[in-house]
Structure 1
């Protein structure tokens, strides 16, 4: 995100203050409600979600443009249907999950220790605070026959090294987790869910059998 330093500093202060107002929900991982955009109003949030909205729509358009055109979907509208922040430290983590009620999800990194410092952690090492995504073939590894003909199935995960100011957009069905994090500064992220609708409805094609 261009000019993210000033935006991130404001967001970190805003979220830290908001969490303090809900001290009874403390611990190594704190997640706000998903009504962030309805509950908090701040120019930094508006700037961030303008950037997020543009990024999500560009990706959705790249993946779907031929289908949108063939279906006659008409004008498309992208809607953020849920957004929240998460503050993590002290070996806190978020276990494997995916997101429902949306087609695209994402995570924006607001703040965390620099990569070199995280990787030097004596216990967590280079996995300190990373985001790990899992391919759909993960469920096959336990019982599927494995030989060199399907060795590609062994590559079941992809690690994203977080960096402040970076936005990651992914299909909502993709399993992922925030690995354990421990650092001098809190790991602060913004997550969101998005839907894309056509002015003529969401059905691209019929389901007839011929």
Structure 2
């Protein structure tokens, strides 16, 4: 039996367990980014003197520096984490004992990437939210014109939760939607991406006229009266 494909929304179908990713631009990036790049190059020069395909600082960036540009960026990051966290947790926070939520950055670092440098697939522990902020990178036309890497040059790729279980699964026209296993965030100066820390992701190889410079962070959000929501006392 054959049937025409349905394209209208079906109220009988529930799309459960969404994977939220926030992607937005920092309004002050044109003023702040050059100051950040200068700070990071100086850090690399004075601390490690390493110029390989990928340079990663330690994750104590906010403990090392009290710079206006860095503080301004992390104010934007804090607001953005609350934007996505409050959107996905609104129903649950209604039942929380806490009336106020606090974000703690438990790690912040930068990376400088070029010369086909990349960062293999990984996720982040000890946090609920993570993020990547693009400080410096070639413009889209220049970046995507790379002869070998093309549009994938320097992209941040996120993998869906089901990517590990479809390898030996049966595929036909009824479950082709499972073939959509990744989301590519194009690097663009001033853009912040916030995502759940358990999501697997990687930085694809990059080569450009400009170095690809990013700031990454890990964050926790806690209630002022603790995080317990449900009582486990059955008596």
Please list the CA deviations of residues 96-141 of structure 1 after superposition, one character each: whole Å capped at 9, or x if unmatched.
0111100000001000100100110010001001111000111012
Q: Report which of the two structures shows the higher radius of gyration computed on alpha carbons.
A: 2
Q: Which has the higher helix share?
A: 1
Q: How far off is 1:41 after superposition?
A: 2.0
Q: Which residue in 1 is equivalent to 2:77?
A: 52
Correspondence for 1:143 among 130, 149, 168: 168
2 CA distance for matches of 1:139 and 1:35? Answer: 33
Tell me the secondary structure at the aligned position of residue 35 of structure 2: helix
Distance 1:179 1:4 in 2: 23
- Equivalent residue, structure 2, for 1:79: 104
The 5-angstrom pairing of residues 1-210 of structure 1 reads: 1-207=26-232
Helix, strand or coil: the match of 1:201?
coil
Deviating runs (4+, > 6 A) in structure 1? none
Distance in 1 between the 2:118 and 2:104 partners? 28
- Mind listing any 5+ residue stretches in structure 2 that lack a counterpart? 1-25
Structure 2 CA distance for aligned equivalents of residues 147 and 190 of structure 1: 41
Note closer, same or farther for the CA distance 1:14–1:151 as it changes in structure 2 (3 Å cut): same
- Compared with structure 1, are the counterparts of its residues 150 and 209 closer, same or farther at alpha carbon in structure 2 (3 Å cutoff)? farther
2: CA distance, partners of 1:157 / 1:209: 42
Aligned-pair distance for 1:24?
A: 4.8
Q: What are structure 1's unaligned runs of at least 5 residues?
A: none
Instruction: Encode CA deviations 1:119-167: one digit per residue, 9 max, x unaligned.
Output: 1001000100111100011101211222222221110001111110011
CA-based RMSD of the aligned residues comes to 1.4
- Report deviation, 1:209: 6.6
Is contact 1:73-1:204 (8 Å) kept? no
How does the TM-score come out when normalised to structure 2?
A: 0.86
Alignment coverage as a number of residue pairs:
210
Change (3 A) 1:162 1:209: farther
Q: TM-score, normalised by structure 1?
A: 0.96
Q: Distance in 2 between matches of 1:99 and 1:209?
A: 34
